[in-house]
Amino acid sequence: MPHDVVDLRSDTLTLPTSAMREAMARAEVGDDVWEEDPTVQRLEAMAAARLGKETGLFVASGTMGNLVSVVSQTRPGQEIVLDADSHIFNYEVAGSAVIGGVQTHPIRTERGFLSPEQVAGAIRPSNVHIPVTGLVCVENTHNRHGGAVCTPEDIAAVAAVAHRAGVPVHLDGARLFNAAVALGRPARDFAAPVDSVTFCVSKGLGAPVGSVVCGTRDFIARARRVRKMVGGGMRQVGVLAAAGIVALEHMVDRLAEDHADARRLAEGLAALPKLRVDVARVQTNIVIFAVDRPGGAAELVAGAAARKIKIHAIGPASIRCVTHKDVDDADIERALPAFAEITRAW
């Protein structure tokens, strides 16, 4: 059946599949704070195996996953090094500073990925006047840079610099499986160089709630305590973890369809007046494009909404569209003429 509304605002808007709903209804559960929920344990073990880590921890969101990772690997008064456009720096309500007591050291990058040279320059020397560098954070794929992908080798080069200085590395892999599918590489290749990694099952993988943090057993033990501290100790949460299992088992390979839809959308947008998009930079499921008209982004959002197409302005002259499992070829073919109709009136 055609979708009544074409929703391109985010892949967080995906609805659980019928298989997920059935798995949720049938899930065997226990109290996860007591570590007695077998379905959660299965998801955590599956995630850790996929990423080549010792164990995992199911958390409510990617933001919580990043927070417990940062707090578990740093001490108050230290500093974390990260990209200036990173999700941790821009969209996580300063949790690292408020809860973890750490300072952020944002660095401007070309595509959202720190270079080894930038990391080397950012790591603090021993000096009583300045904070100690406690953690380096990387993000893959990169949200604010249009779903850009960083290779495992690039991550390894950054991690090598950090590790030589005794600094751990955290990978915000909210859309890590998009990166893996885009490059045709196992997810574990991206996670291998880092000390902790988190990914979302609630974005392109389609589950309704949750992320998984993976790392060593010692790290996860610390992260479990921090999760409890911030109110993330969930009880019979196997009903949610069951959907995450289905997501990992059945929803990874189909991410290639989202990438193809995003490329098709970008190519169509590039042909429209007053819109600018670099099609070559569209690697996964996010398309960011500029609107060359004062107030044009808001106008495009409003005009699209009137045509039952939802898009999201990320600035006064910039729009982000995200493809996902609940957007199909027909939806892209419906959205592009609507955008064309709006821009022709300009």
Mean pLDDT of 133-159: 98
Looking at residue 71, the DSSP 8-state letter turns out to be H
pLDDT at 271 over 80: yes
What is the fold of 18-250? Aspartate Aminotransferase; domain 2 (3.40.640)
In this prediction, residue 173 carries a pLDDT of 98
Average pLDDT on 97-102 reads 97
Q: For 192-202, what is each residue's pLDDT tens digit?
A: 999 999 999 99
Confirm if 187 and 197 have CB atoms less than 8 A apart: no
Distance CA 16, CA 308 (A): 22
> Cα–Cα–Cα angle for 15, 67, 141, nearest 5°?
55
pLDDT tens for each residue of 2-36: 789 999 999 999 999 999 999 999 999 999 999 99
Tokens representing 82? Answer: 């990260």
In this prediction, residue 129 carries a pLDDT of 96
| Nearest CA among 246, 242, 176 for reference residue 214 | 176
Please choose, from the candidates 163, 198, 164, the residue with its C-alpha nearest in 3D space to the C-alpha of residue 44: 198
Residues 6+ apart with CB under 8 A from 6: 308, 309, 310, 327, 331, 334, 335
Q: What pLDDT, on a 0 to 100 scale, did the predictor assign at position 2? A: 79
Which sequence spans correspond to the domains of the chain?
Answer: 6-13+254-344, 18-250
Buried b (16+ CB within 10 A) or exposed e, 78-117: bbbbbbebbbbbeebeebbeebbebbbbbbebeebbbeee
pLDDT tens digits for range 201-239? 999 999 999 999 999 999 999 999 999 999 999 999 999
Determine the pLDDT at residue 46. 98
> What is the model's pLDDT at position 258?
98
- Predicted confidence (pLDDT) at residue 53 exceeds the cutoff of 90: yes
pLDDT at 81: 98
Fold of 6-13+254-344: Aspartate Aminotransferase, domain 1 (3.90.1150)
Peptide bond into 141 cis (omega under 30): yes
**pTM for this prediction:** 0.96
- 3-state DSSP call for residue 281? helix
Instruction: Check pLDDT > 90 for residue 44.
Output: yes
Overall average pLDDT of the 298-320 stretch:
96
| The pLDDT of residue 142 is above 80 | yes
pLDDT of 1 higher than 90: no
